[in-house]
């Protein structure tokens, strides 16, 4: 036989040797476990959940003249959820809820048995008369403020509700769980429902202004009048300069100035070029008028280039070619005929006439160029004046734009303030519609439970019996530990170091249970034996 088997044998030996004590202890705890569900006061758990969708950041103040931004809503943080839980478990909120239900005659619940039988009467008998007949007269005698007599029953109910109310934030979420343990499920459900309603109402009061609707309406009208005056001033200023959008017109005028300056530069270049050519043509015309009989044609072809295409003056070209032909013929005939001959005189006369015609046409062309030069100068003057007018208009528009920008800034500020007061006014008008204004919602409404949460017989009875059995075994082992008597022959050899010569067993037969069936006498006989 190994060591493990010896331990098991020792366990059963001790267990069966003290079975009477085991049975009695076990039965005591079994009876207690069976009576506990009947003795303990029932308690029902009423649960509810509140979800906080966002946190409201007030960016405006109703007492300021201008509001820059409207209210913002951001996701709630862990600290915000803890704040919401603190609001729900606030003693003031719980006391207010109980007071409302008591005033309506719906919360006629006395305190617990101990408080009602001992603590409550003692507190009411000692505290209230002592304060009313001793403390208050003394304080009044010395001119001090008299303490009012407190409602101790309401204080007791509030303390009980705080102890029975469990409020916690679900981990990793924006949901607050509410659990209320109460003997009366109907009244507990009513209490939790009213508590959540008061929570939403108080929370709305904390987040919104408490000023009357008339204040917001008056502020709205004031800002509306100011906005109308500024809008009229801005409209009159724009009408005085004949512009609906100064910024757009400034852009248009600057583009026109740029276009006119480019054209003006081209005309100035053209004027400079025309002046130089005109100077050259006048010099050449003067030289051509003093030219000899044998000189060739005019040193300028009057060719005009347009888009890289040359256009020649056909009349001057024909006269120039005719003059050149007459001069060449005259030079060749001069070698044959006498200068004073009739033919030579006739050729000289033809050359003189042709040259006079050519010079006259050249003079006409020069006059045309002078006229064109005058036109270019007029165009340059006109464009210069137009650019100056555009710049003056731009300067006027810029001044108007600067003033309009100032008015726009003030108008935008008034619009924001007007929007804020309008929002506050609408919130004030709809203050009763809490579900539409609050950013917190009741996720799970409380309902009346059908079964009590405590006590639970299916848990108490098995665990009570198991606890009794384990405690009985523990007591047997404790008893066996302090019992110094010999229980089996091996103990004699081990303790006294003497051999065992003879072991006589108890031959007394076990007395059978004389009672039949499941009855109380049979159970008593079983416990005693």
Flag whether pLDDT at 418 surpasses 60: yes
- Half-sphere exposure of residue 418, counting CA atoms within 13 Å on the CB side? 15
CA nearest to 236, candidates 394, 391, 403, 389: 403
Q: How confident is the model at residue 300 (pLDDT cuts 50, 70, 90)?
A: confident
Where are the chain's structural domains? 43-208+436-454, 240-426, 489-528
Distance CA 420, CA 67 (A): 7
- Tokens encoding 137: 């007269």
CA nearest to 448, candidates 86, 191, 113, 123: 191
Predicted pLDDT at 272:
92
Distance CA 128, CA 185 (A): 33
- Half-sphere exposure of residue 234, counting CA atoms within 13 Å on the CB side? 21
Flag whether pLDDT at 391 surpasses 80: yes
Q: Report residue 453 CA to chain centroid gap.
A: 41
**What is the rounded average pLDDT of the residues 187-213?**
79
> DSSP letters along 432-493, please?
T-HHHH-SEEEEE-----SS-SB--HHHHHHHHHHHHHHHHHHHHHHHHHH--S--SHHHHH
Fold (CATH) for 240-426: Helix Hairpins (1.10.287)
Least confident of 175-189, 343-357, 437-451: 437-451
Rg of the chain on CA atoms, in Å: 60
Distance CA 89, CA 166 (A): 8
Predicted pLDDT at 269:
92
> DSSP letters along 9-47, please?
HHHHHHHHHTHHHHHHHHHHHHHHHHHHHHHSPPBEEEE
Strand, coil or helix: 503: coil
Say how many residues make up the chain. Answer: 529
- Tokens encoding 486: 């010999």
CB 274 within 8 A of CB 335: no
Q: Which segment, 284-293, 328-337, 355-364, is predicted with the most confidence on average?
A: 355-364
Q: How confident is the model at residue 262 (pLDDT cuts 50, 70, 90)?
A: very high
Please write the tens of the pLDDT for every residue from 309-338.
767 778 888 888 888 888 888 888 888 888
Predicted pLDDT at 244:
82
Q: How confident is the model at residue 527 (pLDDT cuts 50, 70, 90)?
A: low
The position carrying tokens 């950013």 is 439
- Half-sphere exposure of residue 465, counting CA atoms within 13 Å on the CB side? 7
**What is the rounded average pLDDT of the residues 275-285?**
87
| Better-scored residue on pLDDT, 111 or 345 | 345
Across the strands, what pairs with 52? 440
Least confident of 84-88, 162-166, 349-353, 451-455: 451-455
Predicted pLDDT at 118:
44
Across the strands, what pairs with 180? 46, 165
HEC sequence for 131-149: HHHHHHHHHHHCCCCCCCC
Task: Name the DSSP letter for residue 117.
Answer: I
CB 44 within 8 A of CB 447: no
CB 270 within 8 A of CB 278: no
Which CATH class for the 43-208+436-454 domain?
Answer: alpha beta
Strand, coil or helix: 182: strand
Exposed e or buried b for every residue in 359-376, given b needs 16+ CB within 10 A?
bebbeebbeebeeebeeb
Where do runs of H (alpha helix) occur along 180-245?
185-207, 213-241
Task: Name the DSSP letter for residue 511.
Answer: P
| Better-scored residue on pLDDT, 326 or 112 | 326
**Share above pLDDT 90 across residues of the chain, in percent, rounded to a whole number:** 12
Please write the tens of the pLDDT for every residue from 216-252.
677 778 888 888 888 888 888 888 888 888 888 899 9
Please write the tens of the pLDDT for every residue from 43-88.
888 899 998 887 765 544 444 444 445 556 677 888 888 888 888 8
Residue 270 CB neighbour total at 10 angstroms: 15
CB 169 within 8 A of CB 177: yes
Flag whether pLDDT at 259 surpasses 90: yes
């Amino acid at each position: 036989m190994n060591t493990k088997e010896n331990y098991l044998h020792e366990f059963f030996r001790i267990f069966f040797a003290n079975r009477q004590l085991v049975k009695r202890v076990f039965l005591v705890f079994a009876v207690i476990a069976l009576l506990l569900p009947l003795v303990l006061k029932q308690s029902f758990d009423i649960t509810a959940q509140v979800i906080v969708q966002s946190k409201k950041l007030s960016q405006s103040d109703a007492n300021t003249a201008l509001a820059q931004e409207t209210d913002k809503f951001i996701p709630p943080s862990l600290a915000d959820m803890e704040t919401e839980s603190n609001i729900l478990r606030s003693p003031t909120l719980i006391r207010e809820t109980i007071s409302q239900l008591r005033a309506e005659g719906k919360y006629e619940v006395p305190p617990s048995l101990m408080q009602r039988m001992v603590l409550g009467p003692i507190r009411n008998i000692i505290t209230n008369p002592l304060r009313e007949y001793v403390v208050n007269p003394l304080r009044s005698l010395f001119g001090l403020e008299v303490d009012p007599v407190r409602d101790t029953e309401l204080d007791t109910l509030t303390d009980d509700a705080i102890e029975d109310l469990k409020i916690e934030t679900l981990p990793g979420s924006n949901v607050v769980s509410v659990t209320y343990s109460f003997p009366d499920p109907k009244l507990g459900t009513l209490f939790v429902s009213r508590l959540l309603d008061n929570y939403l109402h108080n929370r709305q009061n904390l987040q919104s202004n408490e000023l009357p609707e008339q204040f917001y309406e008056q502020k709205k009208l004031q800002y509306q009048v100011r906005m109308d005056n500024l809008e009229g001033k801005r409209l009159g200023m724009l009408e005085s300069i004949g512009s609906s959008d100064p910024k757009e017109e400034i852009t248009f005028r600057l583009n026109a100035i740029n276009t006119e300056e480019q054209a003006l530069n081209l005309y100035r270049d053209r004027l400079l070029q025309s002046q130089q050519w005109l100077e050259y043509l006048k010099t050449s015309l003067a030289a051509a008028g003093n030219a000899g009989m044998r000189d060739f044609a005019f040193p300028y072809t009057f060719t005009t280039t347009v888009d890289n295409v040359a256009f020649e003056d056909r009349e001057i070209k024909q006269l120039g070619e005719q003059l050149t032909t007459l001069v060449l013929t005259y030079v060749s005939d001069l070698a044959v005929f006498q200068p004073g001959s009739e033919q030579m005189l006739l050729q000289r006369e033809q050359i003189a006439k042709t040259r006079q015609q050519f010079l006259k046409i050249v003079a006409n062309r020069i006059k045309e160029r002078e006229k064109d030069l005058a036109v270019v100068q007029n165009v340059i003057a006109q464009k210069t004046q137009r650019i100056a007018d555009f710049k003056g208009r731009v300067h006027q528009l810029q001044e108007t734009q600067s003033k309009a920008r100032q008015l726009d800034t003030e108008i935008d500020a008034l619009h924001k303030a007007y929007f804020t007061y309008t929002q506050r006014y609408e919130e004030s008008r709809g203050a009763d519609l809490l579900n539409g204004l609050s950013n917190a919602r009741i996720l799970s409404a409380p309902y009346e439970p059908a079964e009590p949460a405590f006590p639970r017989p299916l848990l108490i009875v098995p665990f009570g019996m198991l606890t009794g059995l384990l405690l009985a075994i523990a007591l047997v082992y404790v008893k066996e530990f302090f019992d110094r008597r010999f229980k089996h022959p091996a103990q004699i050899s081990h303790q006294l170091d003497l051999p065992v010569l003879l072991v006589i067993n108890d031959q007394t037969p076990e007395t059978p249970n004389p009672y039949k069936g499941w009855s109380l006498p049979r159970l008593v006989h079983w416990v005693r034996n």
